[in-house]
Structure 1
Amino acid sequence: MSMVKRPQHRGTLASVAAELGVSRTTVSNAYNRPEQLSAALRTRILAAAEKMGYPGPDPTARSLRTRRVGALGVLLTEHLSYAFEDLASVDFLAGMAEASYGSDTALTLVPAGPSSDTDEARAIRQVNQTAVDGFVVYSVAEGDPHLAAVRARRLPVVICDQPTDIRDLPFVGIDDYAAIQPAAHALLAAGHRRIGILSIRMHRLRSDGLISHDNIRDASLHVQRSRVLGALDTFAAAGLAPESIPVVTRHINDRTNSLEAARELLESNPDLTAVLCTTDSMAFGMLDYAREKGISVPAELSVTGFDGVGPALDHGLSTVVQPNRAKGAAAGRMLLELVEARVNDQPPPQTPAREILATHFQAGQTIAAPRH
């Protein structure tokens, strides 16, 4: 006759308390408030719990009791890998993590992806199944269905970077229009008049290649729109006709697309002596292309970037430095304050906070006077 092993019942908080002759609150404190117990008692409780197969308090039950999950959501309309590959995003997330130190709060990434055809039902489903106490909406297009789904959750929300015109929600960002102008002025001061621009996407709908100036002003991604317009208006003030400045974009912001954008811009406009890029990643693509074709930077081609990520500064790229880490920290602190107020039934501020951080231009070594 075969012997069937009877399943062992997993211990519970109540059974551990009964086994040790302590209250259920004392067992709970061993996990959630260890400072309230002596080291010896906590060790005894954890040892008994392990022996009885009790894994600790159920986080779902805890969230119902405390009215908080213990996680902040970061909505980004990029693939998940982007958060770990794009250096500006890495710095931003590091800042958010820094803001959460000591709060027993985790970060939950919600990658909506760069697709322009996401339907509303899918966006609602993705956002609604994310267990968080609030959201930081990180650089999302105006009209994106994920943003509408986040707002419908009625949880605390902080917008970072874009959209820039939602005035009833807290905002953290920079003045992108003004921030890029020192880079444009530096190219003009060096004597450049034949200048091109490389930018990452400005619309939710995919559009790779040369973009018309009318499409720029109607762009739904406000960060890139503001940077390009800030540069074009600076060039126009110096007497350069905006239509004489080609602007090439790529929907996906990675090395392959940046390199192809650089190739398209320079092969279609071989007389350019300078290229202003709206991200350091685009500038890296331009520098790679120049290296591939034997074009000397800055002797034959001047290049500027935007972001001020570590490798850009290390390699002397002339770039606009923005405080990506400080931006993440500010957004994280702002959201944590809103979550705490909600848990304590405090009303949100009547006027949502709006924090605009400073930037500066790093002259670098990639700008020189044009040869011809």
Structure 2
Amino acid sequence: MVPQHQPRSPVKRATLTQIAAEIGVSAKTVSNAYRHPDQLSPALRERIFEAAIRLGFAGPDPLASGFRRGSTNAIGFIYANPLSYAFNDEAAVALLAGISEIAEAEGFSLMLVPGTAAGERDPAGIGGAAVDGVIAYSIGSNDPVLAYTRRRGVPLVIIDQPVIAEVPHVGIDDEGAAFAAAAHLRELGHRRIAVISFAIEPRTESRTWSLAEWPDTPYTVTDRRLSGYARALRDHVLLDRIPVVASWGSNERLGYAATQGVLARTPGPTALLCLSDSLALGALAAAQDAGLRVPEDISIVGFDDIPSGRASHPTLTTITQSHGDKGRAAAGMLFGQLRGERVDSARTLPASLVVRDSTAPPPR
């Protein structure tokens, strides 16, 4: 029997007046910290936000300013990357298409609440957003926007990460899927393997660890995929000889740069495990620019099964999952909450290895 999420009672909100009294300013000044931040000094804004957190205040209630009917007919989508990520990352595009399909059927619009390239987050973005519910996509467990969303008390569903017991969640078995990817290389006979990863630590440009040990991370997906690789390979190779190069994001440029560093090692790897197809496509370009043949000289495995990976030369061996189904499942769970229904506490969608042309036995 699938555990179900119980409908929640609305969270009791602190008021602008209470925040204002706490730090000795007017209620209008507190409101401006959220709605017109350019009118206040950074120091004053910080004092207001600190008092708001202390009193459990998550920003002005948008329903009280022009939405007297009790619903905005909009849902929010929060994610850690810059705004453009929602339009140029193929996995994110498919995910948002799935969410939008359900939102349209419900007569709702969708508000994007992005992060920034620098990894900075302003919790006021969601605190003042006029939305009835929120879908959070692949953000760190320590992201302040997530904390503000939960304090605000609106219905919430999380896709991928983090995993929080009392919040409905949609994802895949990331560790199991990563195990299958690494086991494929193991069975082909590869021993010199490197990992091209997205973020392990927030706001870190690029760092290298090993598959034997990496730091505690607020990113559940990263941790589970690395754990799956390690579990598949630990009896086959020494994990401390497998470098894990982690960058702050997931795109071809970062995959290219990380792979250049890995290929400079002596001896170089005969296979790369990439935590996303975008990183893998960058790795593919870097390998080919270095004069290596894929898969004759080096094999590459991705994760996601985006359209570009199916059209690359060679086509990309990867983990397939349906991002559209993830979006539809999350949106369905969110609208179930908005209707006051009990919804599943978690949905685990299928993912599996697809072997294409980018992998082969290591060169002799």
Q: Common fold, TM-score beyond 0.5? A: yes
The one-letter code matched in structure 2 to 1:339 is L
Indicate conservation of the 8 Å contact 1:327/1:357, yes or no.
yes
2:97 matches 1:94 = yes
2:307 matches 1:310 = yes
How do 1:283-322 and structure 2 match up within 5 A?
283-315=280-312, 316-322=315-321
Give the superposition deviation at 1:296: 0.2
Shift of the 108–317 alpha-carbon distance from structure 1 to 2, 3 Å rule, reads same
Give the superposition deviation at 1:265: 1.3
Give the superposition deviation at 1:116: 4.3
After superposition, the C-alpha distances for 1:45-89 in whole angstroms (9 at most, x for unaligned) are xxxxxxxxxxxxxx9988422x21111100001000011111111
Unaligned runs of 5+ in 2: 1-62
- 2:349 maps to 357
CA distance in structure 2 between the partners assigned to 1:269 and 1:335 by the alignment: 51
Unaligned runs of 5+ in 1: 1-58, 342-347
Sequence identity, in percent?
32
Indicate conservation of the 8 Å contact 1:167/1:352, yes or no.
no
Give the superposition deviation at 1:258: 1.6
Indicate conservation of the 8 Å contact 1:190/1:370, yes or no.
yes
Shift of the 212–115 alpha-carbon distance from structure 1 to 2, 3 Å rule, reads farther
Give the superposition deviation at 1:181: 1.4
Alignment partner of 2:184 out of 183, 186, 191: 186
Indicate conservation of the 8 Å contact 2:191/2:236, yes or no.
no
Higher Cα Rg: structure 1 or 2? 1
CA distance in structure 2 between the partners assigned to 1:155 and 1:202 by the alignment: 29
Indicate conservation of the 8 Å contact 1:115/1:204, yes or no.
no
Give the superposition deviation at 1:360: 1.1
- 3-state SS of the aligned residue for 1:259? helix
Alignment partner of 1:79 out of 75, 79, 82: 82
- 2:155 maps to 156
- 1:276 maps to 273
CA distance in structure 2 between the partners assigned to 1:167 and 1:257 by the alignment: 33
After superposition, the C-alpha distances for 1:114-145 in whole angstroms (9 at most, x for unaligned) are 54454xxx31x111121111100100101111
TM-score w.r.t. the length of structure 1 is: 0.77
TM-score w.r.t. the length of structure 2 is: 0.78
CA distance in structure 2 between the partners assigned to 1:329 and 1:62 by the alignment: 30
Give the superposition deviation at 1:352: 5.4
Indicate conservation of the 8 Å contact 1:71/1:106, yes or no.
yes
Give the superposition deviation at 1:340: 2.1
CA distance in structure 2 between the partners assigned to 1:108 and 1:116 by the alignment: 20
How do 1:139-178 and structure 2 match up within 5 A?
139-164=138-163, 166-178=164-176
